[in-house]
Structure 1
């Protein structure tokens, strides 16, 4: 897949449909700036060869992304990124990314596995968002339960 900037990895044991994994991995690459507007996604044939999934699964993921306005299918040419999801601070060389990489190394060294780290990050984000909501809407009943 020379020239392509993303390689999909399918987790068959996770319970998440393969097409959803392709969409999520593409969105993650768009957020991280790994994929940029104008970049070409691998062909369905290349994804099938690399992952051994059904071609219709790849095409469904690409159609879903096209409907969401993230990519454009150009007949005979391929599938191209049309919109970025990147935010400042998410780039590979950003200080925030370096801090998170160091934190992840500490979490791994402490014995946390991927699921533990994801759960910790999610819980921390939820607590932060709930606190921000309480500060922005003091006294509003149920503010802390909305995101639960």
Structure 2
């Protein structure tokens, strides 16, 4: 079951962190259509967050067509994102883990590494976005 790790010091609102973590799990294939998200009460208890925050995130995920709320049953994944789960046999994940370990050994903090990854990713993918996809 999905477990949210909210970082209060990140500057990102808690509801946005829930959305981002859910989308990441969808991109990585951790969550698949048919999977049930934790109830708002479970998230409130485990992440120590306001219930309205969880409901706001789930409503936004539903608006995006990624989840569906079923009365009396819970919230279920109905959509998917990306294809990062297809790289399992390519060695890309292992290379990235090694690179991240080296970055950490060089004294970079998580936020530094993430900023660098986003910056390089933006530059690489802006050069040649696939047809029909926004850059």
TM-score by length of 2: 0.86
* Backbone CA RMSD of aligned residues: 1.9
Query: What stretches of structure 1 move > 4 A for 4+ residues in a row?
Result: none
1:117 to 88, 94, 113: 113
Greater Cα radius of gyration, structure 1 or 2: 1
Give structure 2 stretches of 5+ with no counterpart: 130-134
Task: Find out whether 1:49 has 2:45 as its counterpart.
Answer: yes
Task: Find out whether 1:107 has 2:87 as its counterpart.
Answer: no
What is aligned with 1:93?
Answer: 88
1:25 to 12, 18, 21: 21
Between Structure 1 and Structure 2, how many residues are aligned? 129
Distance 1:126 1:51 in 2: 31
Distance 1:130 1:20 in 2: 24
Distance 1:22 1:97 in 2: 23
User: For residues 47 and 130 of structure 1, do their structure 2 counterparts lie closer, same or farther at Cα, with a shift above 3 Å needed?
Assistant: closer
Distance 2:25 2:37 in 1: 11
Give structure 1 stretches of 5+ with no counterpart: 134-146
What is aligned with 1:137?
Answer: none
Distance 1:39 1:80 in 2: 6
Q: Which has the larger share of helix?
A: 2
Residues 60-75 of structure 1 aligned to structure 2 (within 5 Å): 60-75=56-71
User: For residues 55 and 92 of structure 1, do their structure 2 counterparts lie closer, same or farther at Cα, with a shift above 3 Å needed?
Assistant: farther
TM-score by length of 1: 0.79
Distance 2:60 2:127 in 1: 34
Distance 1:130 1:77 in 2: 42
What is aligned with 1:143?
Answer: none
